[in-house]
Amino acid sequence: MTLLKAGIFLDVENLVRCGGWGVRYRTIRLLAEAQGTRVVRANAYIVIDRDREHEDSAYHRKKQEYRDAVRRAGFHVSLKDVRRYHNSDGEVIVKASADIDLAVDALMQCKELDYVLLGSGDGDLVRVVEALQSQGKRVDLLSFSNTSEALRRTVDAHFSGYLVPDLQPLGQDGEKPRQRGIMHWVNEEKGFGFLTIRTGLGAEDVREDVFIHINDFEHADGHSVTNKSFASLKTYQRILEFDTEEQEEGKLKAVRMIEFQPELD
């Protein structure tokens, strides 16, 4: 079987800021390969604050260890310098964005690629996606929270990082990891529904038959669960975290379910 040649382009700052803490970069490569590809380019765009690293040796050591870990996972690390400037009120503004570097590299390096996996939720990349698709490339997206709806609609497939197996650490060491999923169908009147979960890294590695009942859900803020608030989990496509119990004929039931609260910078 001939494998598609793949390129990965990750805006690391965007991913981490939007909930992608602790991502396993080797899993991202495996995600691309699971789409029938061979990764030939893997770029990670990382912000660097050179002034702070020069002044704080412990901070520099921590950041350098992180960059080295990304390199060991098979990524070329492209550094984007933090810039400081004063606004009209005299306040110091710190800004760094890797989206332009990512976009230029993706367009220049795509000639030898069949498949592109973007890691970002930035809506400024919509035109980049369209340009790549116009050249016959398949473009998929990996993102977490705050993903541009226009970007999500434009790509060929969207992978929510919260649902990709083994992409982020779940649970404590030695504990059975919790599952995450999204409710795709609900009966508001009777208070039950079904969840979609990922079972692997392939585009079609999903289960849509995970049953959930309103009695097995509670709001993280302690508010009472109503049929309306339960149904809104589907309406707003909330990420849900839960344990599973196997039922008859291999069916799964979600229990001890709460709305997942991502850690955002």
- Reply yes or no on whether the pLDDT at 12 is more than 70: yes
Backbone angles phi, psi at 84, to 5 degrees: -120, 135
Domains of the chain: 4-160 (3.40.50.1010), 179-259 (2.40.50.140)
What is the pLDDT of the chain when averaged over all its residues? Answer: 92
Write the single-letter amino acid at 203: A
Can you tell me the mean pLDDT for 35-52? 95
Tell me: the pLDDT tens digits for 196-213? 999 999 989 999 999 999
Which of 249 and 116 is assigned the larger pLDDT?
116
* 127 contact partners, CB below 8 Å, separation of at least 6: none
Q: Measuring CA to CA, which residue among 213, 264, 222, 260 is closest to residue 239? A: 260
pTM: 0.90
Report d(CA 55, CA 24) in Å as an integer.
29
Of 110, 101, 144, 107, residue with least CA distance to 128: 107
Query: What is the token pair recorded at 82?
Result: 């933090």
Q: What's the confidence (pLDDT) of residue 220?
A: 82
**CA 110, CA 46: separation in Å to the nearest integer?**
21
- What is the number of other CB atoms lying within 10 angstroms of the CB of residue 58? 8
Pairing of strands 115-119, 4-11: parallel
Three-state secondary structure call for residue 56: coil
First-residue to last-residue Cα distance in the chain: 43
**pLDDT tens digit sequence for 116-132:** 999 999 999 999 999 99
**What does the block give as tokens for 194?**
């079904």
Does 77 have pLDDT greater than 80? Answer: yes
- Is pLDDT of 173 > 60? no
